[in-house]
Structure 1
């Protein structure tokens, strides 16, 4: 098997990304009333545009998008499954919804349309200041799983019942068991219940010293400047050529009985309250250069619209 990519950091990611930039439009970002809410104040004078988003979009929207739009923006972030549930049960009524898995638009949400605007990849983020984290950095993409099998290594991941990253972590472990010659049953051997953290607080566990490593999205490590191991394309859920014949061979069944199949990571968004202001925010949300600055992948053909958007947006 050929040697895989080494561990990386945000500095290395940004150095290798071409054409990265953020459009700034004279806005400031401040803390909102809740731990998962931020608001930006611009000079438009209109009511704030509310965005309910996946936890992995929290910084990208709360900072990058907020700076790139010329209007007041209020962002609240949770795991995508939680976001979908809050909206479907009527507990939230946001102008814009953005999720980390477009499958959630087929249930519990059922919008008439949505746009896929970004992709991502699963990585192993680690803290190089701990003994276990240092070992992970040395193991790299060839032997990271050996380190995670050590009971003394503390790993963080998210709840698969609350957000797609949780079940994508399980997909990655199962695909890794098939990919590596000496890695058996990683999906059964590595996960433990005490590894579960909310998506919005997963990476911050490094700062408190609670974990040595985390199964995370690449953008989560890039935007916080944490070291991470870039996994092979066959297991990171970020390569379109492996979507149907490889990623789709793994699945997760929730306690409620819903089965989700593996696939390419795709972020989708829809506008629920169409106004000239929400339309402008949505356009920047789905096309802004800030996405790459925060570690997301934006394929040349994105955004892709699915369904039947209102004529005011279709234009």
Structure 2
């Protein structure tokens, strides 16, 4: 065979082999990176689930998967896609309503409600008055002059605006000016009746209150003793072995039977201009319309919504909806794992 025929034949073999490799990996190559924007409170369960999925994908799909995770407040996670034009395969948020409010229809056409949580107040043995605080006197302890406490930024993180709404619900439940004492005296967040306004730029007065972009940013401050208390999700407190007190069902945003009671309070965010009513805590997830690796992202979503996801979330002290509930143009791939509504 002459040399001029050998080279094209060699190239044909290489190209053909490459195509076969791509087909085995679902058309995206043997090595794929999935980009996931998620709530900070999902960091621990998602890391564990992603490891299990990577093992599964390599074993069953012939694809080597790595994850590029970006944990942030959920509002910020969504705005990375809608405002900054960043590409993500999966977006998972601590307040599912952010997806229909900000992402549908331009950035996604479906979403799934999959997990719940509740608000608690967390601390360590080193926190001032940790031997006194309980579910009845917490607001009095937090108001003491030598006590510091924190919550995340309402403009970036549902944990932040939920913490603020918890303190306004406490006004109603206890019949005392909890919100004024804890929030208005220490920040520029204001309330008119039961309607709260959080300016785009949150300002803190004095050193009593600490606000960070996402709730998990406060964990280290409490663990190190620089902060006495913070409002956090129960699952995160459990994952970090922190002490915590539970709050009455009328204010902890856990009880679905108290949805009407919660809805007395609402907050308008300066960052988005959107008004959000207090409601039971429900997490949401979607695959974006222009997901760089949509087929594999759907495989991961199936993994999350199936038995593997339920097991990982249970191990990490977070309740999973049974079944998860899906809205919109629900993909066929997940219809047998969810209850379709809307």
User: Would the TM-score normalized by the shorter structure come out above 0.5?
Assistant: yes
> For the pair shown, which has the larger CA radius of gyration, 1 or 2?
2
The structural deviation recorded for 1:112 is: 1.1
The structural deviation recorded for 1:58 is: 1.5
Q: Distance in 1 between matches of 2:136 and 2:217?
A: 28
Question: Secondary structure, in 3 states, of the residue corresponding to 1:236?
Answer: coil
CA RMSD of the aligned region, Å? 1.9
Structure 2 equivalent of residue 259 of structure 1? 275
The structural deviation recorded for 1:163 is: 0.9
Give runs of aligned pairs for residues 139-218 of structure 1, distance below 5 A.
139-181=133-175, 184-191=176-183, 192=186, 193=204, 194-199=209-214, 200-218=216-234
The structural deviation recorded for 1:83 is: 0.7
Q: Distance in 1 between matches of 2:145 and 2:34?
A: 46
Contact residue 98 and residue 267 of structure 1 kept, 8 A: yes
Whether 1:307 and 2:324 are equivalent positions in the alignment is no
Structure 2 equivalent of residue 46 of structure 1? 31
The structural deviation recorded for 1:309 is: 1.9
Which of the numbers 79, 97, 106 marks the counterpart of 2:73? 79
Q: Distance in 2 between matches of 1:259 and 1:279?
A: 31
Structure 2 equivalent of residue 115 of structure 1? 112
Q: Distance in 2 between matches of 1:294 and 1:93?
A: 28
Which of the numbers 315, 332, 335 marks the counterpart of 1:293? 315
* Superposed CA offset, 1:182-221 (max 9, x none): xx22122112324201213121211332200001111110
Which of the numbers 236, 242, 246 marks the counterpart of 1:220? 236
Give runs of aligned pairs for residues 20-59 of structure 1, distance below 5 A.
45-59=30-44
Which of the numbers 70, 88, 92 marks the counterpart of 1:94? 88
Contact residue 68 and residue 284 of structure 1 kept, 8 A: no
Over 3 Å counting, the alpha-carbon distance change for 1:46 and 1:262 in structure 2 is same
* Deviation >4 Å, runs of 4+: none
Q: Distance in 2 between matches of 1:285 and 1:202?
A: 27
Q: Distance in 1 between matches of 2:333 and 2:146?
A: 56
Unpaired segments ≥5 residues, structure 2 = 1-28, 56-64, 187-203, 337-342
Q: Distance in 2 between matches of 1:278 and 1:105?
A: 17
The structural deviation recorded for 1:172 is: 0.8
Structure 1 equivalent of residue 9 of structure 2? none
* Superposed CA offset, 1:257-295 (max 9, x none): 321110010100001236442222112223411112222
Contact residue 112 and residue 286 of structure 2 kept, 8 A: yes
TM-score (norm 2): 0.73
TM-score (norm 1): 0.79
Q: Distance in 2 between matches of 1:123 and 1:214?
A: 8
* Superposed CA offset, 1:1-36 (max 9, x none): xxxxxxxxxxxxxxxxxxxxxxxxxxxxxxxxxxxx
Unpaired segments ≥5 residues, structure 1 = 1-43
Contact residue 58 and residue 76 of structure 1 kept, 8 A: no
Q: Distance in 1 between matches of 2:46 and 2:88?
A: 14
Question: Secondary structure, in 3 states, of the residue corresponding to 1:129?
Answer: coil
Alignment length (residue pairs): 264
The structure whose RCO (Cα within 8 Å, separation 6+) is larger is: 1
